[in-house]
Structure 1
Amino acid sequence: MLMNADLSLHAAVTPHQYQWIASPQPGVERVMLDRVGGENGRATSVVRYAPHSWFPRHQHPAGEEILVLSGTFSEGDTHYPAGWYLRNPPGSSHQPSSAEGAVIFVKLRQMQRGESRPVRIDTRDVSRWTVRNGRECCPLFSDDIEHVYLERIPAGATVFGGPVEGAEMLVVEGSLRERAQEYELGSWVRLPTGAYPDLVAGRFGACVYLKTGHLANPVSLECASC
Protein backbone atom coordinates (compact mmCIF):
# COMPACT_ATOMS: atom_id res chain seq x y z
CA MET A 1 0.00 0.00 0.00
CA LEU A 2 1.21 3.49 -0.86
CA MET A 3 -0.19 6.59 0.88
CA ASN A 4 1.62 9.95 0.55
CA ALA A 5 4.67 7.75 0.01
CA ASP A 6 6.91 10.23 -1.82
CA LEU A 7 8.68 12.12 0.97
CA SER A 8 9.78 14.83 -1.46
CA LEU A 9 6.19 16.00 -2.03
CA HIS A 10 3.93 18.29 -0.01
CA ALA A 11 1.23 16.30 1.78
CA ALA A 12 -1.54 17.21 4.21
CA VAL A 13 -4.49 15.51 5.88
CA THR A 14 -7.07 17.52 7.84
CA PRO A 15 -9.64 16.01 10.25
CA HIS A 16 -12.35 16.50 7.60
CA GLN A 17 -10.37 14.09 5.43
CA TYR A 18 -9.87 11.42 8.09
CA GLN A 19 -10.81 7.93 6.90
CA TRP A 20 -10.90 5.53 9.83
CA ILE A 21 -9.84 2.02 8.84
CA ALA A 22 -10.16 -1.02 11.08
CA SER A 23 -6.90 -2.63 12.19
CA PRO A 24 -6.51 -6.41 12.54
CA GLN A 25 -7.31 -6.01 16.25
CA PRO A 26 -10.97 -5.35 17.25
CA GLY A 27 -11.56 -1.89 18.69
CA VAL A 28 -8.46 -0.30 17.16
CA GLU A 29 -8.80 1.93 14.09
CA ARG A 30 -6.37 4.21 12.30
CA VAL A 31 -6.14 7.02 9.81
CA MET A 32 -3.27 6.47 7.39
CA LEU A 33 -1.31 9.69 6.86
CA ASP A 34 1.62 8.21 5.00
CA ARG A 35 2.44 4.58 4.39
CA VAL A 36 4.69 2.27 2.39
CA GLY A 37 3.78 -1.40 2.69
CA GLY A 38 1.21 -3.44 4.60
CA GLU A 39 0.85 -4.18 8.29
CA ASN A 40 4.63 -4.32 8.66
CA GLY A 41 5.36 -1.27 6.51
CA ARG A 42 6.66 2.20 7.26
CA ALA A 43 3.70 4.26 8.42
CA THR A 44 2.53 7.50 9.99
CA SER A 45 -0.98 7.26 11.43
CA VAL A 46 -3.54 8.57 13.88
CA VAL A 47 -4.71 5.55 15.88
CA ARG A 48 -7.90 5.32 17.93
CA TYR A 49 -8.33 2.79 20.73
CA ALA A 50 -11.88 2.07 21.88
CA PRO A 51 -12.29 1.56 25.66
CA HIS A 52 -10.88 -1.79 26.79
CA SER A 53 -9.14 -2.46 23.46
CA TRP A 54 -5.64 -3.83 23.18
CA PHE A 55 -2.96 -5.34 20.97
CA PRO A 56 -1.06 -8.54 21.78
CA ARG A 57 2.56 -8.10 22.78
CA HIS A 58 4.67 -7.46 19.70
CA GLN A 59 8.10 -6.21 18.67
CA HIS A 60 9.12 -3.09 16.78
CA PRO A 61 12.14 -4.05 14.65
CA ALA A 62 12.58 -0.46 13.38
CA GLY A 63 11.07 1.43 16.29
CA GLU A 64 7.88 3.32 17.09
CA GLU A 65 7.23 6.96 18.04
CA ILE A 66 4.00 7.95 19.85
CA LEU A 67 2.34 11.18 20.98
CA VAL A 68 -0.78 10.64 23.10
CA LEU A 69 -3.44 13.09 21.87
CA SER A 70 -6.40 12.18 24.09
CA GLY A 71 -7.49 9.58 26.63
CA THR A 72 -4.93 7.28 28.24
CA PHE A 73 -2.60 4.93 26.38
CA SER A 74 -1.10 2.04 28.32
CA GLU A 75 1.88 -0.29 27.96
CA GLY A 76 1.33 -3.18 30.34
CA ASP A 77 0.80 -1.63 33.79
CA THR A 78 2.21 1.79 32.83
CA HIS A 79 -0.29 4.44 31.81
CA TYR A 80 0.28 7.56 29.69
CA PRO A 81 -2.44 10.25 29.63
CA ALA A 82 -2.75 12.84 26.88
CA GLY A 83 0.46 14.82 26.42
CA TRP A 84 2.95 11.99 26.85
CA TYR A 85 5.60 11.40 24.20
CA LEU A 86 7.14 7.94 23.78
CA ARG A 87 9.91 6.46 21.65
CA ASN A 88 10.32 2.69 21.60
CA PRO A 89 13.67 2.01 19.90
CA PRO A 90 14.36 -0.68 17.30
CA GLY A 91 14.16 -4.16 18.79
CA SER A 92 11.87 -3.17 21.67
CA SER A 93 8.51 -4.80 22.41
CA HIS A 94 5.35 -3.86 24.27
CA GLN A 95 1.69 -4.76 24.83
CA PRO A 96 -0.38 -1.61 24.17
CA SER A 97 -3.92 -1.11 25.42
CA SER A 98 -6.37 1.50 26.66
CA ALA A 99 -8.95 1.03 29.41
CA GLU A 100 -10.71 4.36 28.85
CA GLY A 101 -9.95 4.77 25.16
CA ALA A 102 -7.25 6.89 23.53
CA VAL A 103 -6.18 8.63 20.34
CA ILE A 104 -2.46 8.60 19.54
CA PHE A 105 -0.20 9.86 16.76
CA VAL A 106 2.15 7.08 15.67
CA LYS A 107 5.23 6.90 13.46
CA LEU A 108 6.20 3.29 12.82
CA ARG A 109 9.46 1.85 11.42
CA GLN A 110 11.14 5.21 10.94
CA MET A 111 14.03 5.13 13.41
CA GLN A 112 17.71 4.78 12.64
CA ARG A 113 19.11 1.33 13.36
CA GLY A 114 21.53 2.60 16.02
CA GLU A 115 18.88 4.25 18.19
CA SER A 116 18.64 2.36 21.47
CA ARG A 117 17.34 4.71 24.19
CA PRO A 118 13.67 4.60 25.20
CA VAL A 119 12.14 8.06 25.67
CA ARG A 120 9.24 8.98 27.98
CA ILE A 121 8.36 12.69 28.29
CA ASP A 122 5.33 14.27 29.94
CA THR A 123 4.85 17.44 27.89
CA ARG A 124 2.41 18.77 30.52
CA ASP A 125 5.38 19.17 32.88
CA VAL A 126 6.21 22.89 32.72
CA SER A 127 9.84 22.18 33.58
CA ARG A 128 10.18 20.46 30.17
CA TRP A 129 9.46 23.73 28.35
CA THR A 130 12.01 26.37 27.50
CA VAL A 131 12.17 29.49 25.35
CA ARG A 132 13.94 29.24 22.01
CA ASN A 133 14.01 32.07 19.50
CA GLY A 134 11.35 33.83 21.52
CA ARG A 135 8.92 30.89 21.52
CA GLU A 136 8.00 28.26 24.06
CA CYS A 137 9.45 24.91 23.07
CA CYS A 138 9.38 21.40 24.55
CA PRO A 139 12.29 19.31 23.15
CA LEU A 140 11.34 15.67 22.63
CA PHE A 141 14.24 14.07 20.76
CA SER A 142 17.35 15.13 18.88
CA ASP A 143 20.26 13.36 17.22
CA ASP A 144 22.55 13.99 14.25
CA ILE A 145 19.66 13.52 11.82
CA GLU A 146 16.29 14.46 13.26
CA HIS A 147 14.93 16.99 15.73
CA VAL A 148 11.52 16.60 17.36
CA TYR A 149 9.78 19.12 19.61
CA LEU A 150 6.52 20.83 20.50
CA GLU A 151 6.39 24.54 19.78
CA ARG A 152 3.83 27.19 20.72
CA ILE A 153 3.37 29.78 17.99
CA PRO A 154 1.65 33.13 18.66
CA ALA A 155 -1.41 34.10 16.63
CA GLY A 156 -0.44 35.39 13.19
CA ALA A 157 3.25 34.50 13.55
CA THR A 158 5.02 32.59 10.80
CA VAL A 159 5.93 29.01 11.61
CA PHE A 160 9.36 29.22 9.98
CA GLY A 161 11.66 32.21 9.93
CA GLY A 162 13.36 31.08 6.71
CA PRO A 163 13.80 28.13 4.34
CA VAL A 164 13.64 24.64 5.83
CA GLU A 165 15.07 21.32 4.66
CA GLY A 166 11.70 19.64 5.01
CA ALA A 167 9.42 19.42 8.03
CA GLU A 168 6.53 17.41 9.39
CA MET A 169 3.85 18.87 11.67
CA LEU A 170 0.79 17.83 13.63
CA VAL A 171 -1.45 20.55 15.03
CA VAL A 172 -2.13 19.64 18.69
CA GLU A 173 -3.68 22.97 19.77
CA GLY A 174 -5.18 25.87 17.84
CA SER A 175 -4.69 26.00 14.07
CA LEU A 176 -2.36 26.95 11.25
CA ARG A 177 -3.21 28.84 8.09
CA GLU A 178 -1.56 28.92 4.67
CA ARG A 179 -3.30 31.44 2.42
CA ALA A 180 -6.85 30.09 1.99
CA GLN A 181 -6.06 26.70 3.55
CA GLU A 182 -6.69 26.20 7.27
CA TYR A 183 -5.08 23.37 9.17
CA GLU A 184 -7.21 22.94 12.25
CA LEU A 185 -6.60 20.84 15.35
CA GLY A 186 -5.56 17.34 14.30
CA SER A 187 -4.19 18.34 10.90
CA TRP A 188 -1.01 16.68 9.67
CA VAL A 189 1.27 18.50 7.22
CA ARG A 190 4.50 17.38 5.52
CA LEU A 191 6.58 20.03 3.75
CA PRO A 192 9.47 19.38 1.33
CA THR A 193 12.55 21.61 1.25
CA GLY A 194 11.62 25.23 0.62
CA ALA A 195 10.40 28.50 2.15
CA TYR A 196 6.91 28.87 3.63
CA PRO A 197 6.32 32.53 4.54
CA ASP A 198 2.52 32.13 4.23
CA LEU A 199 2.29 29.39 6.85
CA VAL A 200 1.19 31.15 10.04
CA ALA A 201 -0.56 30.38 13.32
CA GLY A 202 -4.32 30.92 13.39
CA ARG A 203 -6.24 33.58 15.29
CA PHE A 204 -5.79 31.84 18.65
CA GLY A 205 -2.22 30.69 18.03
CA ALA A 206 -1.08 27.09 17.71
CA CYS A 207 0.90 24.36 19.38
CA VAL A 208 2.46 21.93 16.92
CA TYR A 209 4.43 18.72 17.02
CA LEU A 210 7.33 19.51 14.70
CA LYS A 211 9.95 17.17 13.24
CA THR A 212 12.79 18.28 10.98
CA GLY A 213 15.84 16.63 9.40
CA HIS A 214 14.33 13.21 8.79
CA LEU A 215 13.02 13.91 5.29
CA ALA A 216 16.51 14.61 3.98
CA ASN A 217 17.79 11.42 5.65
CA PRO A 218 14.93 8.89 5.53
CA VAL A 219 15.27 5.42 6.96
CA SER A 220 15.64 3.01 4.07
CA LEU A 221 12.94 0.42 3.50
CA GLU A 222 15.62 -2.24 3.91
CA CYS A 223 16.28 -0.97 7.43
CA ALA A 224 12.55 -0.65 8.13
CA SER A 225 12.04 -4.30 7.29
CA CYS A 226 14.96 -5.59 9.30
Structure 2
Amino acid sequence: MEINADFEEPVLRHTSQIDWVASPMAGVERRMLDRIGGEVARATSIVRYAKGSSFAEHTHSGGEEFIVLEGVFQDEHGDYPAGTYIRNPVGTHHIPRSDPGCTIFVKLWQFDPADQEQIAVDLDSIEILPALDRAGVSSATLAAREYEHVALEVWDAHAKVGLSDPCGLEMLILDGSCSHNDEIYGRHDWIRLPAGASETFVAESSGARVWIKRGHLANIVAPAK
Protein backbone atom coordinates (compact mmCIF):
# COMPACT_ATOMS: atom_id res chain seq x y z
CA MET A 1 0.00 0.00 0.00
CA GLU A 2 1.21 3.50 -0.83
CA ILE A 3 -0.45 6.71 0.39
CA ASN A 4 1.20 10.09 -0.21
CA ALA A 5 4.36 8.09 -0.87
CA ASP A 6 5.96 10.66 -3.20
CA PHE A 7 8.00 12.60 -0.67
CA GLU A 8 9.07 15.13 -3.28
CA GLU A 9 5.53 16.51 -3.39
CA PRO A 10 3.91 18.77 -0.75
CA VAL A 11 0.86 17.40 1.07
CA LEU A 12 -1.65 19.61 2.91
CA ARG A 13 -4.58 17.69 4.36
CA HIS A 14 -7.74 18.57 6.26
CA THR A 15 -7.70 15.36 8.28
CA SER A 16 -11.38 15.59 9.23
CA GLN A 17 -12.16 14.92 5.55
CA ILE A 18 -10.25 11.61 5.50
CA ASP A 19 -12.31 8.46 6.00
CA TRP A 20 -11.67 6.25 9.02
CA VAL A 21 -10.35 2.80 8.05
CA ALA A 22 -10.78 -0.18 10.36
CA SER A 23 -7.62 -1.78 11.75
CA PRO A 24 -7.29 -5.52 12.46
CA MET A 25 -8.35 -4.82 16.06
CA ALA A 26 -12.02 -4.19 16.85
CA GLY A 27 -12.70 -0.60 17.90
CA VAL A 28 -9.43 0.79 16.52
CA GLU A 29 -9.65 2.90 13.34
CA ARG A 30 -7.15 4.95 11.34
CA ARG A 31 -6.97 7.98 9.11
CA MET A 32 -3.94 7.25 6.94
CA LEU A 33 -1.80 10.29 6.13
CA ASP A 34 1.20 8.66 4.51
CA ARG A 35 2.09 5.00 4.22
CA ILE A 36 4.51 2.62 2.55
CA GLY A 37 3.69 -1.01 3.29
CA GLY A 38 0.83 -3.18 4.49
CA GLU A 39 0.01 -3.82 8.15
CA VAL A 40 3.70 -3.45 8.91
CA ALA A 41 4.43 -0.07 7.35
CA ARG A 42 6.35 3.15 7.42
CA ALA A 43 3.27 5.15 8.31
CA THR A 44 1.89 8.41 9.62
CA SER A 45 -1.71 8.16 10.84
CA ILE A 46 -4.37 9.48 13.15
CA VAL A 47 -5.65 6.53 15.17
CA ARG A 48 -8.89 6.39 17.15
CA TYR A 49 -9.51 3.93 19.99
CA ALA A 50 -13.13 3.39 21.00
CA LYS A 51 -13.90 3.10 24.70
CA GLY A 52 -12.55 -0.14 26.08
CA SER A 53 -10.62 -1.06 22.94
CA SER A 54 -7.09 -2.41 22.81
CA PHE A 55 -4.37 -3.49 20.41
CA ALA A 56 -2.42 -6.72 20.55
CA GLU A 57 1.01 -6.74 22.19
CA HIS A 58 3.66 -5.78 19.67
CA THR A 59 7.30 -4.77 19.35
CA HIS A 60 8.31 -1.54 17.64
CA SER A 61 10.76 -2.92 15.12
CA GLY A 62 11.08 0.51 13.53
CA GLY A 63 10.26 2.69 16.53
CA GLU A 64 7.16 4.72 17.28
CA GLU A 65 6.32 8.28 18.26
CA PHE A 66 2.88 9.67 18.96
CA ILE A 67 0.89 12.54 20.42
CA VAL A 68 -2.28 11.92 22.41
CA LEU A 69 -4.79 14.31 20.83
CA GLU A 70 -7.93 13.40 22.79
CA GLY A 71 -8.83 11.14 25.69
CA VAL A 72 -6.33 8.91 27.51
CA PHE A 73 -3.96 6.42 25.88
CA GLN A 74 -2.94 3.53 28.15
CA ASP A 75 -0.51 0.66 28.24
CA GLU A 76 1.18 -1.41 30.93
CA HIS A 77 3.62 1.46 31.56
CA GLY A 78 1.00 4.07 32.48
CA ASP A 79 -1.82 6.41 31.46
CA TYR A 80 -1.07 9.22 29.00
CA PRO A 81 -3.69 11.99 28.74
CA ALA A 82 -4.28 14.37 25.85
CA GLY A 83 -1.25 16.58 25.32
CA THR A 84 1.37 13.87 25.89
CA TYR A 85 4.17 13.33 23.33
CA ILE A 86 5.83 9.89 23.46
CA ARG A 87 8.85 8.35 21.73
CA ASN A 88 9.25 4.56 21.87
CA PRO A 89 12.57 3.49 20.29
CA VAL A 90 13.31 0.48 18.11
CA GLY A 91 12.93 -2.71 20.14
CA THR A 92 10.42 -1.45 22.71
CA HIS A 93 7.08 -3.19 23.08
CA HIS A 94 3.75 -2.69 24.81
CA ILE A 95 0.04 -3.57 24.89
CA PRO A 96 -1.88 -0.38 24.00
CA ARG A 97 -5.44 0.21 25.11
CA SER A 98 -7.85 2.97 26.11
CA ASP A 99 -10.54 2.45 28.70
CA PRO A 100 -12.13 5.90 28.12
CA GLY A 101 -11.25 6.07 24.42
CA CYS A 102 -8.64 8.26 22.75
CA THR A 103 -7.29 9.67 19.52
CA ILE A 104 -3.57 9.77 18.75
CA PHE A 105 -1.31 11.04 15.96
CA VAL A 106 1.29 8.32 15.38
CA LYS A 107 4.38 7.75 13.26
CA LEU A 108 5.79 4.23 12.80
CA TRP A 109 9.01 2.79 11.47
CA GLN A 110 10.87 6.11 11.24
CA PHE A 111 13.56 5.86 13.97
CA ASP A 112 17.30 5.47 13.72
CA PRO A 113 17.97 2.17 15.58
CA ALA A 114 20.77 3.92 17.48
CA ASP A 115 18.27 6.40 18.93
CA GLN A 116 17.28 4.60 22.13
CA GLU A 117 15.97 7.44 24.29
CA GLN A 118 12.44 6.74 25.46
CA ILE A 119 10.51 9.83 26.53
CA ALA A 120 7.04 11.04 27.52
CA VAL A 121 6.54 14.82 27.56
CA ASP A 122 3.53 16.83 28.75
CA LEU A 123 3.14 19.43 25.98
CA ASP A 124 0.82 21.52 28.14
CA SER A 125 3.48 22.17 30.78
CA ILE A 126 6.69 22.40 28.75
CA GLU A 127 8.47 25.77 28.73
CA ILE A 128 8.01 27.71 25.49
CA LEU A 129 10.57 30.43 24.71
CA PRO A 130 10.51 33.17 22.04
CA ALA A 131 12.43 32.25 18.89
CA LEU A 132 15.17 34.84 18.46
CA ASP A 133 15.20 34.58 14.67
CA ARG A 134 11.44 34.50 13.94
CA ALA A 135 9.03 37.22 14.99
CA GLY A 136 5.81 36.02 16.60
CA VAL A 137 7.06 32.47 17.16
CA SER A 138 7.89 30.72 20.43
CA SER A 139 9.20 27.16 20.60
CA ALA A 140 10.42 24.26 22.73
CA THR A 141 12.64 21.44 21.48
CA LEU A 142 11.18 17.97 22.07
CA ALA A 143 13.89 15.88 20.41
CA ALA A 144 17.13 16.97 18.73
CA ARG A 145 18.95 14.29 16.76
CA GLU A 146 21.43 14.24 13.88
CA TYR A 147 18.67 12.90 11.64
CA GLU A 148 15.73 15.04 12.85
CA HIS A 149 14.58 17.89 15.04
CA VAL A 150 11.15 17.85 16.72
CA ALA A 151 9.61 20.92 18.36
CA LEU A 152 6.45 22.42 19.75
CA GLU A 153 5.83 25.90 18.32
CA VAL A 154 3.36 28.60 19.29
CA TRP A 155 2.52 31.18 16.62
CA ASP A 156 1.11 34.50 17.74
CA ALA A 157 -2.05 35.85 16.11
CA HIS A 158 -1.33 37.03 12.54
CA ALA A 159 2.32 35.92 12.67
CA LYS A 160 3.79 35.21 9.25
CA VAL A 161 5.83 32.04 9.54
CA GLY A 162 8.16 30.88 6.79
CA LEU A 163 8.77 27.13 6.75
CA SER A 164 11.55 25.30 4.93
CA ASP A 165 14.18 22.64 5.56
CA PRO A 166 16.82 21.20 3.25
CA CYS A 167 15.72 17.70 4.30
CA GLY A 168 11.95 18.32 4.46
CA LEU A 169 9.49 18.89 7.29
CA GLU A 170 5.98 18.16 8.49
CA MET A 171 3.63 19.68 11.02
CA LEU A 172 0.42 18.88 12.83
CA ILE A 173 -1.76 21.73 14.07
CA LEU A 174 -2.65 20.97 17.67
CA ASP A 175 -4.77 24.07 18.36
CA GLY A 176 -5.77 27.25 16.55
CA SER A 177 -5.45 27.75 12.82
CA CYS A 178 -3.34 29.23 10.05
CA SER A 179 -3.76 30.07 6.40
CA HIS A 180 -1.76 29.22 3.30
CA ASN A 181 -2.66 30.42 -0.20
CA ASP A 182 -6.07 31.63 1.05
CA GLU A 183 -6.97 28.25 2.57
CA ILE A 184 -7.34 27.85 6.32
CA TYR A 185 -5.95 24.85 8.16
CA GLY A 186 -7.11 24.09 11.68
CA ARG A 187 -7.03 21.63 14.54
CA HIS A 188 -5.40 18.30 13.66
CA ASP A 189 -4.73 19.24 10.03
CA TRP A 190 -1.45 17.87 8.69
CA ILE A 191 1.11 19.40 6.34
CA ARG A 192 4.25 17.89 4.80
CA LEU A 193 6.77 19.90 2.78
CA PRO A 194 9.49 18.23 0.70
CA ALA A 195 13.20 18.90 0.93
CA GLY A 196 14.06 22.43 -0.15
CA ALA A 197 10.46 23.68 -0.35
CA SER A 198 9.72 27.08 1.16
CA GLU A 199 6.22 28.18 2.11
CA THR A 200 4.70 30.90 4.29
CA PHE A 201 1.82 30.32 6.71
CA VAL A 202 -0.10 33.06 8.52
CA ALA A 203 -1.63 32.38 11.94
CA GLU A 204 -5.27 33.31 12.25
CA SER A 205 -6.65 35.57 15.00
CA SER A 206 -6.57 32.69 17.52
CA GLY A 207 -2.90 31.99 16.83
CA ALA A 208 -1.73 28.41 16.41
CA ARG A 209 0.11 25.73 18.35
CA VAL A 210 1.89 23.20 16.15
CA TRP A 211 4.03 20.08 16.46
CA ILE A 212 6.73 20.34 13.83
CA LYS A 213 9.38 17.87 12.69
CA ARG A 214 12.29 18.80 10.46
CA GLY A 215 15.06 16.98 8.62
CA HIS A 216 13.63 13.46 8.68
CA LEU A 217 12.49 13.15 5.07
CA ALA A 218 16.01 12.70 3.70
CA ASN A 219 15.87 8.91 4.19
CA ILE A 220 12.58 7.20 3.39
CA VAL A 221 12.85 3.51 4.20
CA ALA A 222 10.02 0.98 4.14
CA PRO A 223 10.00 -1.99 6.53
CA ALA A 224 11.62 -5.18 5.29
CA LYS A 225 8.98 -7.66 4.18
Which 4+ runs in 1 deviate beyond 6 A? none
CA distance in 2, matches of 1:19, 1:158: 31
Segment drifting more, 55-64 vs 162-171: 162-171
Residues 51-70 of structure 1: pairs in structure 2 closer than 5 A: 51-70=51-70
What is the Cα deviation at residue 225 of structure 1?
Answer: 3.0
Indicate the residue corresponding to 1:154 in structure 2: 156
1:50 aligns with 2:50: yes
The amino acid across from 2:93 in the alignment is S
Corresponding residue number in structure 1 for 2:21 = 21
> How far off its partner does 1:16 sit?
3.8
TM-score (norm 2): 0.92
SS at match of 1:24: coil
Residues in 2 aligned to 1:138 and 1:79: alpha-carbon distance in whole angstroms: 23
2:74 corresponding residue in structure 1: 74
CA contact (8 A) 2:64 2:89 kept: yes
1:194 aligned onto 2:193:
no
Count how many residue pairs are aligned between Structure 1 and Structure 2. 220
Q: Give 5+ residue unaligned stretches, structure 1.
A: none
Superposed counterparts of 1:10-159, under 5 Å: 10-126=10-126, 128-133=127-132, 135-159=137-161
RMSD, aligned α-carbons: 1.5
For residues 65 and 154 of structure 2, the distance between their equivalents in structure 1, rounded to whole angstroms, comes to: 21
Helix, strand or coil at the partner of 1:31: strand
**Deviation for aligned residue 1:131:** 2.9
Give the Å deviation of 1:125.
Answer: 1.5
| TM-score (ref. length: structure 1) | 0.92
- Percent identical among aligned pairs is 40
In 2, the alpha carbon distance for the partners of 1:141 and 1:11 equals 23
